Amino acid sequence: MIMSIKVRYFASLKDRVGCAEQAIHSSGLSTVRSIWHAANPDKKLPDNILAAVNMDYVDLDSPVNDGDEVAFFPPVTGG
Amino acid sequence: MIMSIKVRYFASLKDRVGCAEQAIHSSGLSTVRSIWHAANPDKKLPDNILAAVNMDYVDLDSPVNDGDEVAFFPPVTGG
Amino acid sequence: MLIKICPDMFDPWQEVQSYQQNTLTALTGKIGATSVFVGTMRDFNEGDQVKGMTLEHYPGMTERQLAKIVAQAQSQWQILDALIVHRVGAILPDEAIVLVAVWSSHRGEAFDASRNIMEALKSKAPFWKKELLDSDQERWVSKNTDGYTTC
Amino acid sequence: MLIKICPDMFDPWQEVQSYQQNTLTALTGKIGATSVFVGTMRDFNEGDQVKGMTLEHYPGMTERQLAKIVAQAQSQWQILDALIVHRVGAILPDEAIVLVAVWSSHRGEAFDASRNIMEALKSKAPFWKKELLDSDQERWVSKNTDGYTTC
């Protein structure tokens, strides 16, 4: 099955990846980690990265579903 | 030696003693406790009473000197 | 550092704003954290409706003890400045009783110091509250509770 | 409860005053304690002079996470109300970055809850700071420190 996933990057990770948002259409996507690798085949998953699915924090091994919004970002520094 | 001591009372203790301020002139005054008894010969020293000499907290057995201002009051309830 | 004993109603937020804008000008760019506590008169206490209150204090000793409390906090935490305003006299529900504000470079110190100053004020500053109940009966508040236990 | 993401400069004391006066009218007489924290932009960080900052955030997730943080605090402490304002976009030294205000009947709860909300915000709300140094170099702030350790 082909899944469509919206991938978003923030802050220094956005600079590193070179874009803020990508749409991924692919089969074989099962976890947040696999989304990273499909979207960034040439880049190692950075240490200390945080991930969210549909705006809730998740582990990198959490499942994703068709239509999800997956976000990757560095440690937050607000406040 | 005759010492002159200004004695002050606050809050519920002022109501109980019946006055806000007394001047005591007497010999044989040595501690805060003795000031109370000289000023209030008919009244037991209340439990939980706080005392100050010249606006600093002191123990009831602290010494007093001629000219001191001695204050007695209940637990504070500000803030 | 400023300690104010205030016989009239005061707006705590305006006090903080005005002190910061007018007095703390030398700290521009140095302040990273401000922790403010405001105590307000409630219309209930110990199961009774309260319609008013009178705050008595020991003039002179109050200012002296508050200055010592701030100095003690300054020796323990890195504080840039502090402001204390405390109401005295007749007061109505919903009016501010006390304001404690602490400015610091870092938030941990601002929080710790403001809470410490507030607790010390509650246990050492010579103020006394007399409540006027709805029944028109008057009663002295007998003691303050410890603000570090919240259960 | 109100959570505001603010692209323009705001006056934290006026925000608190206006929220309390206009929104918390039903709490008249119930509020005994208000604990407010304000984080302000400093002109120095990690040994460097900083002349400006840009605050990025994740719209939608930010509000969602802040609402969860407040709900978590409400389940742990008796809170009457809470207000969070957080700045985004370009910001200059001495401007307010964040405001957390908590209203309660008792001071221990107000202090505990406001500090807890502030720490949770620092570790979970998706905001990121990019500093502009005096040298015109830009750098991302890499992580927040723990505000419970003040030494």
- Enumerate the residues of chain C whose CB falls inside 8 A of the CB of residue D111: 37, 111, 115, 118, 147
- CA dist., res. A79 & res. A73, Å (int): 17
Q: Quote the pLDDT of residue B29.
A: 81
The DSSP secondary structure of C13-73, one letter per residue, reads HHHHHHHHHHH-GGGTTT--EEEEEEEE--SEETTEEEEEEEEEE-TTHHHHHHHHHHHHH
Bigger pLDDT: B36 vs D46:
B36
Q: Which residue of B has its CA nearest to C123?
A: B76
* pLDDT tens for each residue of C34-79: 999 999 999 999 899 999 999 999 999 999 999 999 999 999 999 9
- CA dist., res. D82 & res. D16, Å (int): 10
How far apart, in Å, do the first and last CA atoms of chain C sit? 33
Q: What domains lie within chain A, and their CATH numbers?
A: 3-73 (3.10.20.30)
At residue C15, the 3 state secondary structure works out as helix
Chain D: touching chains (3 or more CB pairs < 8 Å): A, C
Residue C150 has pLDDT above 80, yes or no: no
- CB-based touch D/C (3+ pairs, under 8 A): yes
Q: Which residue of D has its CA nearest to A11?
A: D128
Look-up of token digits 């996470």: D65
pLDDT tens across the length of chain D (151 residues): 999 999 999 999 999 999 999 999 999 999 999 999 999 999 999 899 999 999 999 999 999 999 999 999 999 999 999 999 999 999 999 999 999 999 999 999 999 999 999 999 999 999 999 999 999 999 999 989 888 864 4
* Rounded-to-10 torsion of CA C18, C22, C27, C28: 90
- CA dist., res. C15 & res. C144, Å (int): 25
* pLDDT tens for each residue of A18-59: 999 999 999 988 999 999 999 999 999 999 999 999 999 999
* B37/chain C closest Cα distance in angstroms: 22
- CA dist., res. C1 & res. D1, Å (int): 33
Look-up of token digits 């601002």: C110
- CA dist., res. D18 & res. D25, Å (int): 11
Is D142–A77 a contact, with Cβ atoms under 8 angstroms apart? yes
Is C126–B52 a contact, with Cβ atoms under 8 angstroms apart? yes
CA angle (C68 as vertex; C62, C74 as ends), nearest 5: 140
* D78/chain C closest Cα distance in angstroms: 9
Q: What domains lie within chain D, and their CATH numbers?
A: 2-21+30-135 (3.90.1170.40)
Is A55–D57 a contact, with Cβ atoms under 8 angstroms apart? no
- CA dist., res. A70 & res. B10, Å (int): 66
| B19 — pLDDT class (breaks 50, 70, 90) | very high
H-helix or E-strand spanning residue C22: helix C12-23
Number of Cα atoms under 13 Å in the Cβ half of residue A64:
36
Q: Quote the pLDDT of residue D151.
A: 40
- Enumerate the residues of chain D whose CB falls inside 8 A of the CB of residue C16: 13
pTM: 0.96
- CB-based touch B/A (3+ pairs, under 8 A): no
ipTM over 0.90: yes
Q: Give every CB contact of residue D78 below 8 A, 6+ residues apart in sequence.
A: D104, D105, D106, D109
Is C37–D111 a contact, with Cβ atoms under 8 angstroms apart? yes
* pLDDT tens for each residue of C69-107: 999 999 999 999 999 999 999 999 999 999 999 999 999
